[in-house]
Each structure stands twice: as structure tokens, then as C-alpha cells.
Chain A
Amino acid sequence: MNPPELAPHGPGLYVHVPYCAGKCGYCAFHSRPLGLCPAREPERITEAALRRARSLAERFGVREFSTAYVGGGTPTALPSPVLMSLLSGMRDLAARGGFAEWTVEANPESLDPDTLGILGDAGVDRISLGFQGGQPDPLRRAGRNAGVTAGIRALETCASWGGRLSVDLMVGLPGQDPRGLEADIARAAAAGADHLSIYQLTVEEGTPLETAVREGAVRLPSEDEEAELWAAVREACGASGHLRYEVSSWARPGAECLHNRNYWKGGVWIGAGPSAVSSAPLPDGGTLRIQETRDHGEYLRDPEAFAEEERVPPGTAAFEIVMTAFRTREGLDSGAFRSRFGVSPEDLLPETLAKWKDLLESGPRGPAPSDRLLDVLNPFLLDCMSEMERRAAGIPHGPGGPL
């Protein structure tokens, strides 16, 4: 069954808040403990991010944004006045009538009714809660700082939230119990979550978790144990009415994340704040990608000067669209693909599409993955990559043209 068709949205505005109460052992995102920052730095960084957002919008020719997302780090860990002025500055960049979707990430420890009030007053209509799970031991062993009690309390707090709610859960924690995972999903659903981000714990390079796993201090679930956990996810999401519409995303029909969907379709978005990424198609079909510096000092001095720009050549950009579109049940938009790259995916990938036909479906606008394919996407994408490299003679792989 395919999810209902959604209208395309974009451009998107992302603001990265690079602060946390403390760094978790598995996390490789850019963030710094708030307590270790110079006074007023968060305020200056968020102000710089807003200025940068406006300047990037001008460069990209974007007058107004249709979706917004504040991530991190932990945006809700910001001091209230700083959070309020950030949100108010963002609101000025919205289309008339406000953002079609405005999400703010929240961590259980910093989500209280007051913060919810600030978000609601500013016009934020969606919270993404980093709950991660309700089993104390597996979470602690993975290096999670927030306690389970705080998570459960935050879910309860959210029950009074009038907007939309997304809840993050991790699968593959050391010693994680499938029944506990089912209970976590049920708990999130009961708190009103219309959206669940359920993702595999990934051991990232350079994290304390990586060291612990390498040294044998932490044992991750075996392939069989992991399969049981994912079976539990299927079971619980089926019961709560959440459908999987992307590799790591489940939603009740109509509650899919519009902002993320724009990423997966290869749309235009601006990312402001240290380490954030902006992206826009180039006239030749390639992609301009700008990565902000992670260094707060540099960001405060001159974000433009310290940003890294990458011109992704059209052939590579085409693969990236295939890579992200096939992560979604909606699949590829063949028409949009052809008008951007001058060739349809069916002509570019005939062998791969034929080889994988049993795990493919026809989506609303082109080929789409079955639910089963979402689990074994990598080998499919590798076939796509090989075939595209062989056939994409018409799509230049050289340096992209000017914006």
C-alpha cells in the first residue's frame, strides 16, 4: 500500500543549534556542552545563524521558506530568551501565512511546559522528541546521558502539546529487549506521536561507543537479535497505525515530515549554524552544497569565508537523488528526474530495475521500493551506482557549472 500523495514543499530552512546539556556516547553530530561555552556565545551564535540564513537565502534566490526545522544539539537547552529571539527571527523568513511545517528538536531533560509554551507561542507546530527508548540499561550502555525517567516525563508533558509530535527511538542498543521496544512505541503513540523516527544505532567513528565496542566493553545485538527487534518494531507500529514511509521514518497517514521529504527529493534548502549544510540544484543538473564551519569562533567572525563549497557534478547528483528517493516508499519522481538530468531513470537503470523487480513497486511518479527493499537498500543502490556510471555518458561527471 502506498501512502497518499503529498504536494511538494520547499525551500526548507534548517537552523543548527550546536549545544547540548552534555554529549552522548554514540553521538557524532556537532554540538558542545552548554556549560563549557563562554557566556553569551549561544546568543551570538544564533544571531549569526540568522544573519547567515538571510544571506544564503539571498544568494540562492529564496524569498520565503515553506518548512523549517531547528535541530542540534538540543535547541530546547538554549536559555529561554535566546530561544525566543531565534524563533522570532526565523518566523520573518516564512511564507505569508507561516511555515507549512515548523519542527523543533527537544531533549527530554529540557522539555518542560514553559518551553512548550514558548514553542507554541512562536508558531512552532511540530516537536521532535529525542526519547530514544525506555530501557535504562541498554540506553546507559550506549552512552545516553538523559535518564529514562526524564524521557517518560517528557512524553507525558507532550500529551498536553497541541501540535504534532515526532518521537525518536533507537534500535540495536546493547541488551535491548524487543518487548520493551514494543512498549516504547506504544508509549509514544499514547503520548500523541503521529510520527516516529526509528533508527538503527550506528557506531560512528571517533565516538566513545566505538571505543567501547572495539574493546569489548559493550556488546551490540547479533544479527538474529537485531532481526527480533525489528520484528517488534513492525508489530508495534502496525498496532499503533504508523506506516513506514522512509527507511527510518514511520507516520500516520498525512503526518509525514514535509521538511525531510524536501531533502530526499533533492530540493532547495538552507542550513544555518555551525556544521549545517545548504543545498540547491545547479542549472547543469549538478548540486551546489555549502557546508558551514564547525568552529564557533570562525562562525562568529565570517561564516561565508570559512564555509566549504562543493559543486556536485550532475552524474553524482543524479545518483544522490536516486539514493535518497529510494529511501522513501514514494520513490523516484521520473518526470522531475528527467527534466533535471535530461534522461529518465528507466533509461538510466534498466538492468538494475529488472534485476530488482520483485522488490520494486510502481510509485505515484516512478519506480518505488517495497517495504522489504528498504531493509536491503545498500546492495540495490550499489547496483544503481554501477549502472549509472556505465550509462550516464550523457550526464557529465566533471565539475559543475556556476549557480
Chain B
Amino acid sequence: MRDPNHIRNFCIIAHIDHGKSTLADRFIQMAHIVDDRKFQNQMLDNMDIERERGITIKSQAVSIPYTASDGINYTLNLVDTPGHVDFSYEVSRAISSCEGAILLIDASQGVEAQTLSNMYMALEHDLEILPVINKIDMPAADVPGVRDQISHDLGLDGDEALAVSAKLGTGLPELFEALVRRFPPPRGSAEKPARALIFDSRYDPFRGVLVHIRVVDGRIRPGDRILLMNTGAVHEVEEVGFFRIELSKTEELAAGDVGYVVAGIKTVSDVRVGDTITNADVPAEEPLPGFREVKPVVFSSIYPMDTNDYDELKIAMEKLKLNDASLIYDKDNSVALGFGFRCGFLGLLHLEVVQERLEREFDQSIIMTAPSVRYKILLKNGQEIFVDNPSEYPDPGRIETAEEPFIKAQIITPVAYVGNLISLCVQKRGVQTSFTHLDEKRVEMIFEMPLAEVLFDFYDKLKSTSRGYASFDYDVIGYRPSELVKLDILINGKPVDALSQLVFKPGAYERARKVCERLQGAISRQQFKIAIQGAIGGTIIARETVNPLRKDVLAKCYGGDITRKRKLLEKQKEGKKRMKSVGDVDLPQEAFLAVLRTNEDEQ
């Protein structure tokens, strides 16, 4: 029987790239729960995309045995949280399953936007916060400076912050001891009716869905009938266990434990992160607080490159959905691209992750249409509708007013870039609501701005404008009035529905011009002239032309090289497979991307 007093549940919170995954790796290595030879960097980041991009998309957890200097064996449960604003609700659930948080700060970067927002989140959940300065081995490390920032910006005691190098292992033994000493043991009682917080779930092809939980009260055992309190679903527990890199089966999970439950659940969509598991026969009175439905904020359609591959794409989407509860999709169809799916995402990163997983894990060749936010439209007949798909945009004559989602954007930047960043935000229709000097070098600015403006290239521009020093975080704050028009793109006079987008009216001309320009660059010459036009209603507002191909023929064909000439054509044909025929015009995949990245060549 584990004594809850010897359990410590904690997470690591940090701004992206401050070394969270490296520190997690060190914990795992030092605990010797995985064979050194089987060790791979970023153990907890299972997906290729996570490793490549250095970000964590799914929450993961691991139990680490640790014998402290007091001679007692402790169980340290590390809950690794996703590291991106798109997944901030998941982060909040993971945080609320812990009692302590390591707030990791890069010794040369200092406190950044996500450091602050994550710390606020941890404070909201009454976590004990242990500031840790990482990467002290870097030449640009400024440990005393970061201690000052911790005291000044975060209101914590900078002198108490530990200084470590996760990469080299420096300071880690002290960190282990501090975890045990500083973080409180879990509260809650094993004798009360069961209550466990779901902080993530994962699909396992052999066992079905593994539900990741933190048990707050009571016990959960195989054979128990469990109730998911917010969805009302009842399941029977088949197996419970701990995360030890591999899954480690056990007889029960009790108050204070972090582990998994297998209960015959078929897909992750049947499980809501943030929901409370209780015993269906002896239920708790109240679920744990903080549950909410996560709603997608970015929408785009996915089509197979080759319309014949729709069924294959459908299977891939279903499989992807097994493991990604945040992905929402519905059947969609386009005149230009045939059958596909309208999808909702938590943010642009989530969209990119889905795109990459479809292409890499499922080998699908796909086209994604321009991402859109969900607009709120009040019709003249008093009806209120939500529109995220340009094809469903009502006739302008029927529209009374339109509203679009706004965000509160928090930017932390060195003073030198303030001017440029304000221009950028103003250009993106941002309104500044706060300006605070964090210290003599850094400033925190809050803007309210439309989410749609952040979708396209805001993050890239923020980084390039500030040479990578500014950091950014946001929350959706609600709908604000907007002026909306539907921008159509015509190829040789025919509107291509998949290229349409809903845009802010005063910016429509500029957007149309850029999209046409980029399409011109992306479409290769064909045997006839191609006209590319941007239009609002019936009015053409931008135009570009692709001139016809002058010459495309293989020179001189004699008797000896018929095979070679044929093979050259076969090779060309392979290249053409990556094209989408719209009418008589072949559009490369990049043409659809061109609509997304309208400002890349501006700088």
C-alpha cells in the first residue's frame, strides 16, 4: 500500500524551447526506469512531429521511483504538459492534476510570455511553484539576471530558484531533493467515493483507449463500474496501472495516484479531457471543477489530391480521430476538389499537426483550403448563424451584421522592438489595452485583435520583427462586430470554390492582389493563357495572367532513344500527379498554400 505522503505529483511548465523535454528525459534517465540503450531523446514526445519540432502535443506522464536523502522511497509522478497555446485547455487539466510545478526558465532567454501565462495558470490551481533556471551551461546564460526577473516579474523568490543544466545533469540531485521537500503530498482521501480527473487519453490499438487520470479521492479497481460524470457514460474497468515508460499493470489506483484506466472505450472522442471518473455504484456527489468542452477555433477543409482517394482519406481521418479528440470533422464537398472533410482545429499548430500526420503516418496526398475562423452572422430575418466555410456564406443582401472572434494577445518583448511590434499589431487591427515595463529591458503589451489576423502569418512576423526575442500568448475573448466579404478566386473566369475565403472588407483588395500574385507564381505555364482574378460578388478587384507555354517538347527522337524519351515523359507524368486539375488548368498543391501565405515575400 502506497502512502500518499510519499507521492509527489508535479509538472514542468515553461515557454517553448526552454528545455522542458530535456529535463523530463533526465528525470527518466536518472531514475533508471528505462534501459540506457533503449533511451532516446525526448522519451515522452512519442510522435515524430513532436521530436522534430521540439514541442509536446500530447500530455504524457511517467512515475519515477526516488529514494530521498531521508531514506524514504518516493514516487514522483511527472505529468508532461503540451507546450503550445493551441492546447492550453489540456495544459490546464494536466496542471490541475498536480500539487507542484517546476517553472523552467532558460538562463539566457529569461521570463517569456508563456512562462507568465503558465505560471498564472499554475497559481490558479494552487500549485506550489518551484522556479528552476535551466541551460546555465550556455555562454549567454545570465543566472543573476534571471533571478532578478523571477523576483520582479513573477513575484517569486529568485534567490530560491535552483540553477541547473538539464543537458549536462548539473544541479539535478538538488532538484530531486527539492521536489520532495518543497512540493506537498497529495490531499484527498482513499476512503471517500472515487473521483479521478481525466487529463488526457490515448488510443492503443491493442487495448482500446487508455484514459490518463489523477485519482483525487477513493480507489479505482478492475471490475469497477465507472461513471464519466459530465458525459454520463458508464464503463467497466478492465485494467489500471502506472506509467513507467511502458505501462505497468497494478491492482488499484488510489487517492494521490497518477495512472491509466482501460475500460472498453472505443475512441478517444468518447472521453472528454477534464471530465471526472467516479464509481457508478457509489458515485461522488460533485464532479471535480473546471470541466469545459473544448471548441475548435480554426476551420479548414481537407481534400484528397486525387478525388479517387476519398475513401482512403476517410479511413485515415477515422484512425487519426481515434487519437485526437480535439479534431472535429464533417463531410464536405467542393465543385473543384470533389468530396472531402470540413475540419475544426484548436489552432494553426493543431491544423499543421493534423496535416503532417495525414501525410506522413497515413501517406495521404491532400489539399487543405485556407483556414478560417467561425463568424457570427445576424440575418435580416433575425436569425443568428455561425459560418466558418466560405461556401456557406449567405447572400450579402440577407446579412444584417457580422461578428468575428477576438483574442487578447499578450506580448513580451525587449524594449527595442516595441515600435515595430505595435505597428505589426495595429496593421493586424489590434488595439492596445495595456503596456507594462517588466524591468528596464522588457515590456509586456496586451492587444485585443481579431483571431483571423493571427491565423495567417502573425507569429512568423512577430518573430522576424523582434529577431525571435518577442514571445506571444493569447486567449479568445469573444465576438466583436466586423465587416465581412467573401473573396472569390476565378481561374479562367470560373470561380474555384476551394480558393474562396471570408475576409475583412477594408483589407480585401490587398488580400486579393496578393493571392493572385502568389497564384501566378505557383501555377506553371500551360498551353493556353491563364487568367487569375480576385472578385467580390461580381466585381473583379485583382487580376494576374500566366502566359502560355511557348515550347515544351523533347528535341530530336531517333530510333535508338524511344525508350528513353518515353521514360522522360513518364517522369514528367509522375510530377503531374501532384497537380489538381481544375477545369483545364493544372493547379499544384502549392497553389492552395499560396492562399494561406500571402505576406511571405513582403519583407
Contact = CB atoms under 8 A, between A and B. Distances in A.
A226 interface: yes
Contact of B555 (A199, A260, A276, A324): A199
B335 interface: no
A323 interface: yes
B559 A263 contact: yes
Interface string B519-556: 00000001100000000000000000000011111111
B436 interface: no
A202 B557 contact: no
A191 to B, nearest CB: 21
Contacts, number: 101
Contact of A323 (B549, B569, B572): B569
B457 interface: no
Interface string B562-603: 110110011011001000000010000000000000000000
Contacts of B556: 197, 199-200, 202, 247-248
B527 A324 contact: no
Contact of B559 (A247, A269, A323): A269
Contact of A289 (B563, B570, B572): B563
A275 B560 CA distance: 8
Contacts of A403: none
B566 A320 contact: yes
Interface stretch (A90-98, A138-146, A212-220, A376-384): A376-384
B558 interface: yes
Contacts of B570: 385
Interface in A346-403: 355, 359, 374-382, 385-386
A230 B559 contact: no
A378 B559 contact: no
Given A271-B559, A378-B572, A226 B551 contact: yes
Contacts of B551: 200, 223, 226-227, 230, 375-376
A20 to B, nearest CB: 16
Contacts of B560: 14, 16, 271, 275-277
A385 B555 contact: no
A339 to B, nearest CB: 21
Contacts of B555: 199-202, 247-248
A18 interface: no
B572 A324 contact: no
Contacts of A271: 559-560
A316 interface: yes
A327 interface: yes
A279 interface: yes
A310 interface: yes
A385 B559 contact: no
Contact of A379 (B526, B559, B562, B565): B526
A310 B527 CA distance: 34
B501 to A, nearest CB: 30
Contact of A279 (B552, B557, B559, B572): B559
A303 interface: no
A391 B152 CA distance: 74
A60 interface: no
B573 A374 contact: no
A247 B572 CA distance: 19
A117 B561 CA distance: 32
A319 B566 contact: yes
A12 interface: yes
B566 A379 contact: no
Contact of A247 (B527, B553, B566): B553
A379 B563 contact: no
| Most chain B beta-carbon neighbours within 10 Å: one of A248, A271, A316, A386 | A248
Given A271-B560, A355-B584, A377 B566 contact: no
B275 to A, nearest CB: 51
Interface string A309-323: 010100010011001
Given A385-B570, A386-B573, A320 B562 contact: yes
Contact of B549 (A200, A248, A320, A379): A379
A378 B584 contact: no
A63 to B, nearest CB: 20
Given A226-B551, A319-B566, A379 B527 contact: yes
Contacts of A276: 560
Nearest to A249: B556
B548 to A, nearest CB: 8
B553 A377 contact: yes
A230 B558 CA distance: 21
B527 A359 contact: yes
A277 B557 CA distance: 13
A355 B566 CA distance: 22
Interface string A119-141: 00000000000000000000000
B550 A223 contact: yes
A249 B110 CA distance: 72
A100 B2 CA distance: 101
The residue in B557, B563, B572 that gathers the most chain A C-beta atoms within 10 A of its C-beta is B557
A316 B526 CA distance: 25
A316 B569 CA distance: 12
Contacts of A378: 552-554, 569, 572
Given A230-B551, A379-B526, A385 B558 contact: no
B550 to A, nearest CB: 5
A379 B554 CA distance: 11
B527 A323 contact: no
A115 to B, nearest CB: 23
Contacts of A324: 557, 562
A352 to B, nearest CB: 12
A380 B565 CA distance: 14
Interface string A265-294: 000010100011101000000000100000
Contacts of B584: 355
Contact of B552 (A202, A230, A320, A379): A379
A375 B525 CA distance: 13
A386 B570 CA distance: 10
Contacts of B565: 323
A9 to B, nearest CB: 13
B258 to A, nearest CB: 56
A386 B560 CA distance: 24
B360 to A, nearest CB: 27
A373 B202 CA distance: 57
Given A310-B563, A323-B566, A263 B558 contact: yes
B562 A381 contact: no
A374 B554 CA distance: 10
Contact of A381 (B526, B563, B569): B569
A47 to B, nearest CB: 21
A289 B563 CA distance: 9
B569 A385 contact: yes
Closest 4 CB pairs of A and B: A200-B555, A263-B559, A377-B553, A199-B556
Given A277-B561, A312-B563, A378-B552, 18 more contacts: A201-B555, A202-B555, A230-B550, A247-B555, A247-B556, A247-B557, A263-B558, A276-B560, A319-B566, A320-B562, A323-B569, A359-B527, A376-B527, A377-B553, A380-B527, A381-B569, A382-B572, A385-B569
19 contacts: A16-B560, A71-B558, A200-B556, A202-B556, A223-B551, A247-B556, A248-B557, A260-B559, A263-B557, A264-B557, A277-B561, A310-B563, A323-B562, A375-B551, A376-B527, A376-B550, A378-B569, A379-B527, A385-B570
